[in-house]
Structure 1
Amino acid sequence: MAGRWVLLLVSFLLPGILLSEAAKILTIATLGGSHYLLMDRVSQILQDHGHNVTMLHKRGSSIIPDFKEEEKSYQVISWLLPEDYQKEFHKILSFYVKEAYNDRETFENLIKLMEQLGFQCSHLLSRRDIMDSLKNENFDLVIVESLDYCHFLIAEKLGKPFVSVLTTSFANVDFGLPSPSSYVPVFHSLLTDHMDFWGRVKNFLAFFTFSRRQWQVQSMYDNTIREHFPEGSRPVLSQLLLKAELWFVNSDFAFDFARPLLPNTVYVGGLMAKPTKPVPQDLENFIARFGNSGFVLVAMGSMVNITGIQEVLKEMNSAFAHLHQGVIWKCKHSHWPKDVNVAANVKLVDWLPQNDLLAHPSIRLFVNHGGLNSIMEAIQHGVPMVGIPIFGDHPENMVRVEAKKLGVSIKLKELKAETLALKMEQVIEDKRYKSAAVAASVITRSHPLTPAQRLVGWIDHILQTGGAAHLKPYAFQQPWHEQYLLDVFVFLLGLTLGAVWLCGKLLRVVSRWLCGARKLKET
């Protein structure tokens, strides 16, 4: 009996003992903007839960202009690109964004950007001081961000297990999930999960374009792989994606379409949400001026600089002037054109506490660029949206927002004051949008575990179990002809054809025998 109680006590205490062991975790952030912000949040959460976290961070990113980093609770290893690399990258990035503003976002421009990331990766892997320092740390786990494939190569070079965080649209990367074309939209198809016949035709054909483009993007790292990995042990990027122990997806079914997942795929949408605080008094005073009409929040994300497009800025300002609500707009005073008067109901701010304002009881609408972090924050607080998608996954995200009745979108090239004003008034006045946003908020908040708890719990799980081999299907190890049963199909086809041939032979033999017997009777 005593032994039984000891066993029960050990089984109760053992998980706590295991969880109390801090792991050494490396997180990697080579991109700026929302990608960095999410990886920073992941690092902070894991550090706060007792792990020893180090972030490898590239300095000198201009994706967030004038961005000031706060002091971190985790360790940071920073590296800086040579000046010529930086200039070329910023030049290509600026061109890519400018073209997107003018509705000329092309795959060729994206390839040039990814090529630069490949060059940067080669430079980083050749930095013996950094790579040796990382190897000497002997990390237990590496957490990578999926948009820059260099992160996967760093983890492979260190020979450590790794977990991937998907910061962009779900369909942006193929990492082995079952994706039936009948109801899972392919990236850039701009389809929903409700497809008619022609929608399914379009989606099926889009799959081949997506696959070819994935291969082209990944090939931008081929020279880096040849340069830094010996022949015979060179990784294939498409296979490295399948090697991830876990995939954390910055989304939620309150926003995304339901689709098949594998056991090592975990939704953590809402990680950016933090406990809300009272908004600054100057903003509170501004909100109070509009009483029950409330206010509209406008924030176009870290990478989108609308002030660079004077005509768009003027149209937006004119549209806001039509509203009965106050408008708090994150827009730098220094970039505001001198020949334009700010609308009387608009307050321009260089910075704003977005999470706190979204939680404010007087908010009526959130105008944003369709970035995933902004959308997930809006859903968390039940705020309807008007989206102005610019590039990347923004259009895909807004397709989901509209399909879920969480808001509406307007293309940048179609943005006129009257159109934008009508769209905003439509979402504010039609209570169905607010109801859908509140319903989505209930879905995200009613999970048994918070996004942070899911993140930490699954990280602890794979640390305790030595990886996630038990969560990954054997299909990842099968050659493609086995995975798609082509060998079985060929075998059965051959068997069927052989049986048909044999039956034909037998029929001919029987036919000849019958003909021969008939001739004998006639003679």
Structure 2
Amino acid sequence: MRGVAAVLFLLSMQLFLLAEAAKILTVSFVGGSHYFLLDEISRVLHERGHEVRMLQTDNLFSSGGYTNRDPKDYQITTCSFEDDYAKELKAWFSELQKEFLKGRAGLRCYLELMDHFAFQCNIVLKQSAILNSLRHEKFDIAIIDAFNPCVFLVIEKLGLPFIAFFPGTFINLGQVDIPRPLSYIPMPRSLLSDHMDFWERVKNVFIYFVYQVVNMQLQAKFDHVIEAHFQAGSRPTLSDLYQKSELWIYNTDLTIEFPRPLLPNTIYIGSLLAKPAKPLSQELEDFIGQSGEAGFIIVTMGSMVTSIEQLDIVKEMNAAFARLPQKVIWRYQRSRWPKELKLAPNVKIMDWLSQNDLLGHPKARLFVTHGGINSVMESIYHGVPVVGIPLFGDQFDNMVRVEAKQIGISLPPYQLTADRFAKAMKQILEDDKYKRAAVALSKIQQLAPFAADEMLIHWVEHIIHSGGGTHLRPYGSQQPWYQQYLLDVAFFLAASLALVAYCCVKLVKIISKMICPQKLKQT
């Protein structure tokens, strides 16, 4: 009887879950690690029992050979671009990599990227057959990669409520009303930690005002797209669309992020991609086994950088690896390895490697990385210290946090020589404090009350079943800026004090005339 009761209970729970299942649209318009995250979100929600479809763009940024989807997983709708444009974009990104490696990944590169996003957005919004098909499916909610402003315009066209997922740390402060006390919350690209002296706080305030100007320039890139695809009188602004998000989710957590105040409609669920390690191939196990107790080093510069364009940097890295007793597994596209350069005998290059599984291997000693947030979160999860070579985007800020947490060292690519690189790696390998700090953060991360995927499911279903995130959104987001900063109150108090002071002065003069009339006349 107990067995029958158990079966009936499981069947009733299945029916309940099916009744509660929602139709969810996920949107990913950027490749690489951005796609990995939206793929994982889609997979987690699909396995939960929800009906999931991903809207993605095709043939643009490469995901580096990544394939992790079962044919029976969630559904996919793809917006395609002309091959000529795809080639143009890849050529631009190839040139951009050279700029990164020379330390010139500045504001200009970021704004050029936004130009490409705006151009792509115009093409996506013209694909009315796809948009109409999605509109007719009547999704309950969308989960979007909030890095690309275009997704906000697409979701507005579809008329869907949405959750904004930001695939990194809090670098979009100009878009979201998150509290940001400048005395201890560093601005993006400030290269500051939360411990700032006087002049660093001055720098932080200055960057804050620069950031406001940059944010206006960014939004202006999409003005022509909005004018072309939305009717006059009902044209949205990106600022308004950012405020419409039911919830903001950030791909970080307190193992790497500095503690900061958050509003109820803002949460973080880092380490979505960090998992217990799976067994490696026999080929890799045999290679690692040759290292003995020295262990091995994992090297990858991110999903979108399959090889390094600067020959001098490749030579310096290769020479530095040759000086170490550890084996080195380096993700580098074999067909693009310089023919004139002999690979160091302790190095194995691979077109693609399972980064998470390698980091989880007991002989992993060091991770050489570009400093992307997913890579940093995986290294923390497995307790492996890092040497970071940041190239662009939030990688510089991530490495500031890595150094502040004492789990690694940052080395800019334009300062990379064999001597400096080998010295940095030896410092990490020989000083136990880095490993101890990484293990301590790993323990904190794994002792979190809820795993990242559980947090994701909990919050997405909470938003769906509670009818949205209005109850989480502070009223301050609806106030004019002068009310938010109490400037009207400050003006009232200043005017009141001025009036009181004026009245006091007048009263003193009147009393003085009454008390000493003769003296006043003589004077």
- Same-fold call, TM cutoff 0.5: yes
- 8 A Cα contact 1:20 1:50, kept in partner: no
Match of 1:110 in 2: 110
| Counterpart code for 1:161 | P
Match of 1:356 in 2: 357
Match of 1:368 in 2: 369
Aligned residue for 2:483, secondary structure, equals: helix
Match of 1:314 in 2: 315
- 8 A Cα contact 1:274 1:355, kept in partner: yes
1:227 is displaced (CA, Å) by: 1.5
TM-score between both structures, scaled by the size of structure 1:
0.93
- 8 A Cα contact 2:333 2:351, kept in partner: yes
Query: For residues 352 and 89 of structure 1, do their structure 2 counterparts lie closer, same or farther at Cα, with a shift above 3 Å needed?
Result: closer
Match of 1:9 in 2: none
Aligned residue for 1:28, secondary structure, equals: strand
- 8 A Cα contact 1:383 1:434, kept in partner: yes
Cα distance in 1, alignment partners of residues 208 and 193 from structure 2: 15
Match of 1:241 in 2: 242
- 8 A Cα contact 2:64 2:352, kept in partner: no
Uncovered stretches (5+) of structure 2, i.e. residues with no partner? 1-11
- 8 A Cα contact 1:27 1:55, kept in partner: yes
Match of 2:74 in 1: 74
| Counterpart code for 1:46 | L
| Counterpart code for 2:192 | L
Cα distance in 2, alignment partners of residues 518 and 68 from structure 1: 97
1:65 is displaced (CA, Å) by: 4.5
- 8 A Cα contact 2:30 2:61, kept in partner: no
Q: Among the aligned pairs, what percent are the same residue?
A: 45
1:172 is displaced (CA, Å) by: 3.7
Aligned residue for 1:53, secondary structure, equals: strand
Alignment of 1:217-228 (within 5 A): 217-228=218-229
Alignment of 1:9-408 (within 5 A): 17=16, 21-66=20-65, 70-72=69-71, 73-174=73-174, 175-408=176-409
Cα distance in 1, alignment partners of residues 473 and 281 from structure 2: 48
Deviations 1:250-293 (A, max 9, x none): 11110011111111212111101234211111111111111111
1:87 is displaced (CA, Å) by: 3.7
Aligned residue for 1:201, secondary structure, equals: helix
Deviations 1:381-420 (A, max 9, x none): 0100001111111111101000100100111011111111
Cα distance in 1, alignment partners of residues 319 and 77 from structure 2: 46
Alignment of 1:492-507 (within 5 A): 492-507=493-508
1:125 is displaced (CA, Å) by: 1.1
| Greater mean alpha carbon deviation, residues 324-333 or residues 504-513 | 504-513
Cα distance in 2, alignment partners of residues 55 and 266 from structure 1: 23
- 8 A Cα contact 2:306 2:351, kept in partner: no
| Greater mean alpha carbon deviation, residues 401-410 or residues 14-23 | 14-23
Query: For residues 255 and 197 of structure 1, do their structure 2 counterparts lie closer, same or farther at Cα, with a shift above 3 Å needed?
Result: same
- 8 A Cα contact 1:368 1:388, kept in partner: yes
- 8 A Cα contact 1:93 1:113, kept in partner: no
| Counterpart code for 2:384 | V
- 8 A Cα contact 2:307 2:333, kept in partner: no
| Counterpart code for 1:162 | F
Match of 2:419 in 1: 418
1:304 is displaced (CA, Å) by: 2.1
Match of 1:427 in 2: 428
Query: For residues 131 and 519 of structure 1, do their structure 2 counterparts lie closer, same or farther at Cα, with a shift above 3 Å needed?
Result: closer
Deviations 1:214-272 (A, max 9, x none): 11111111111111122222222122212211111111110011111111212111101
Query: For residues 398 and 284 of structure 1, do their structure 2 counterparts lie closer, same or farther at Cα, with a shift above 3 Å needed?
Result: same
Query: For residues 131 and 366 of structure 1, do their structure 2 counterparts lie closer, same or farther at Cα, with a shift above 3 Å needed?
Result: same
1:90 is displaced (CA, Å) by: 3.0
1:136 is displaced (CA, Å) by: 0.4
1:93 is displaced (CA, Å) by: 2.8
Aligned residue for 1:308, secondary structure, equals: coil
1:15 is displaced (CA, Å) by: 13
Deviations 1:71-124 (A, max 9, x none): 450000011013443344334333333222222223123212211211211221
Deviations 1:412-469 (A, max 9, x none): 0111111111111110111000000001101110011100000000001111110111
Aligned residue for 2:100, secondary structure, equals: helix
| Counterpart code for 2:271 | G
Query: For residues 20 and 443 of structure 1, do their structure 2 counterparts lie closer, same or farther at Cα, with a shift above 3 Å needed?
Result: farther
Deviations 1:110-163 (A, max 9, x none): 212211211211221121101101110111101111111011111112221110
RMSD: 2.0
Cα distance in 2, alignment partners of residues 69 and 297 from structure 1: 21
Deviations 1:314-356 (A, max 9, x none): 1111111111111111112211112222111111122211111
Aligned residue for 2:188, secondary structure, equals: coil
- 8 A Cα contact 1:92 1:113, kept in partner: no
Cα distance in 1, alignment partners of residues 261 and 307 from structure 2: 37
| Greater mean alpha carbon deviation, residues 267-276 or residues 165-174 | 165-174
1:372 is displaced (CA, Å) by: 0.7
1:70 is displaced (CA, Å) by: 3.9
| Counterpart code for 2:78 | S
- 8 A Cα contact 2:60 2:89, kept in partner: no
Match of 1:466 in 2: 467
Deviations 1:12-32 (A, max 9, x none): x99994785111111111111
- 8 A Cα contact 1:27 1:53, kept in partner: yes
Aligned residue for 2:183, secondary structure, equals: coil
Deviations 1:191-223 (A, max 9, x none): 000000111010011100111111111111111
| Greater mean alpha carbon deviation, residues 261-270 or residues 426-435 | 261-270
Query: For residues 173 and 499 of structure 1, do their structure 2 counterparts lie closer, same or farther at Cα, with a shift above 3 Å needed?
Result: closer
Uncovered stretches (5+) of structure 1, i.e. residues with no partner? 1-12
- 8 A Cα contact 1:218 1:237, kept in partner: yes
Match of 2:9 in 1: none
Aligned residue for 2:495, secondary structure, equals: helix
Match of 2:6 in 1: none
Cα distance in 2, alignment partners of residues 476 and 172 from structure 1: 16
| Greater mean alpha carbon deviation, residues 21-30 or residues 504-513 | 504-513
Cα distance in 2, alignment partners of residues 499 and 316 from structure 1: 71
- 8 A Cα contact 1:125 1:228, kept in partner: yes
Cα distance in 1, alignment partners of residues 245 and 14 from structure 2: 24
- 8 A Cα contact 1:367 1:386, kept in partner: yes
Cα distance in 1, alignment partners of residues 134 and 495 from structure 2: 54
